[in-house]
Amino acid sequence: MTNYWLLKTEPSTFSIFDLQNNSNQTTQWEGIRNYQARNFIKDQMKVGDKVFIYHSVKEPIGIFGTGQIIKQAYPDYFQFDSSSKYYDAKARPEKPIWFMVDLKLEQIFDKPITLAQLKSYNELKEMLVVQKGSRLSVQPVSEKHWNFIYSLSVGSSSKSGS
């Protein structure tokens, strides 16, 4: 069974367009340093899961496209690198704390589906990303919410290679 996710990223750090320009349009989704988000990655994400790629912080804030998990959780090696901003002195290779997955771009929407748009639909009122104070960078999305949001993008998306 496919799971659905929303992955937040700050476009000044890494955007969906950076993903589009990466080799094979893939990336490792590293740097998660929240235990709840880490647990979603480590315990629930699997190959084939679908993700919305969401730009936060900089306008327009919203969902810019979709991707797919292509490699299940493995230790985030930046936690062991003392020169990395993601270094964690408590982490050990034999007992990693943080994990990452690999992601492949599926498509970029012609126009993002903004947070304001998401909040305007009664059908999405239970979705985590529209909840006040919801800052989690990895969020589960119900199949119902995924299908509704995806239907908003129909006619407003292009394949990643275009």
Quote the pTM value: 0.91
11 lies in some domain: yes
161 lies in some domain: no
State mean pLDDT over 151-159: 67
Q: Is the pLDDT of residue 130 over 80?
A: yes
Query: Residue 90 carries which DSSP code?
Result: T
13 lies in some domain: yes
What's the number of domains the chain is made of?
A: 1
Find the angle CA(6)-CA(7)-CA(12) to the nearest 5 degrees.
Answer: 140
Domain CATH number, residue 32: 3.10.590.10
Could you tell me the residue range of the domain that residue 135 belongs to? 4-152
State the average pLDDT for the chain.
93
- What does each C-alpha distance from 52 to 60, 79, 83, 111, 121 come to in angstroms? 15, 25, 30, 14, 17
- Give the H or E element holding residue 159: strand 157-159
157 lies in some domain: no
pLDDT at 149: 96
* 94/92 Cα distance (integer angstroms): 5
pLDDT digits (tens, 9 = 90+) for 64-122: 999 999 999 999 999 999 999 999 999 999 999 999 999 999 999 999 999 999 999 99
Cβ proximity of 65 and 105 under 8 Å: yes
CA atoms within 13 A on the CB side of 70: 14
160 lies in some domain: no
